[in-house]
Amino acid sequence: MALAHYKQVDAKTSFAIWKIEESAEELYNQLQLKDHETEFLSTLNNGKRNLHWLSTRALLRSMLNTDEYIDCLVDEHGKPYLANFPHQISLSHSYDYAAVMISEDKPVGIDIELIKNKIERVAKKFMSKAELDFIDQKNAIEHLYVCWCAKEAIYKLHGKKNISFLDNIELKPFEFSQNGQFEAALNIEDTEEQFQVFFEKFENYMIGTVAGAI
């Protein structure tokens, strides 16, 4: 694996992107896995799913910079967490890249996506009319990917399955650029949380991150 991108968000929060170049065996040998983890790995088909699971754990180990066993579990909603480290984490992957975001003092969310034309066909399923109205038509595909990554990152930070991208996550209008930030809100019943979303284009991928509420 080669570290392709690293960003220190603040003193206690960072994220990294890793290019997956090893075989599953090479990644496996970098980790300290227990029986329940190797049993789970055996349920994954050989190929990208296997590589993605292994590579996010290898990148997590690199970012924590430890020789200790990392007990990375998932809760009843499927959100990953660390049982034996204080950090809060978020994991993502897309094709040849793995992404990990960690923080010592706040919940985080990260999403990385390979940019493809097909997003235009599904835009109305995750974007409201008000959100679609601010999309830059000259850069529609990339602008839509910023929006998708933002909503996915907020969803991962929230960590529960009771939200809809379309109905519960509202993106404030923002102009498209290769990187930047904008505000978003998560509305569930009578509560609202505000977030600052950061995004950047990396090669032919889009990255969206959130770290705590504002």
pLDDT tens for 74-90 read: 999 999 999 999 999 99
The answer on pLDDT for 189 being more than 90 is no
Residue 182: phi and psi, rounded to 5, are -160, 170
The answer on pLDDT for 207 being more than 70 is yes
Q: Using only C-alpha atoms, what is the Rg of the chain?
A: 17
Give how far Cα 186 sits from Cα of 4, 12, 158, Å. 31, 24, 9
The answer on pLDDT for 180 being more than 80 is yes
Q: What is the pLDDT of residue 206?
A: 98
Please, what are the domains in the chain? 2-104 (3.90.470.20), 112-211 (3.90.470.20)
The answer on pLDDT for 190 being more than 90 is no
E strand residue ranges, the chain: 2-10, 13-19, 72-74, 80-82, 88-94, 97-103, 108-114, 169-171, 179-188, 191-202, 205-211
pTM over 0.85: yes
Q: What percent of the chain has pLDDT over 90?
A: 91
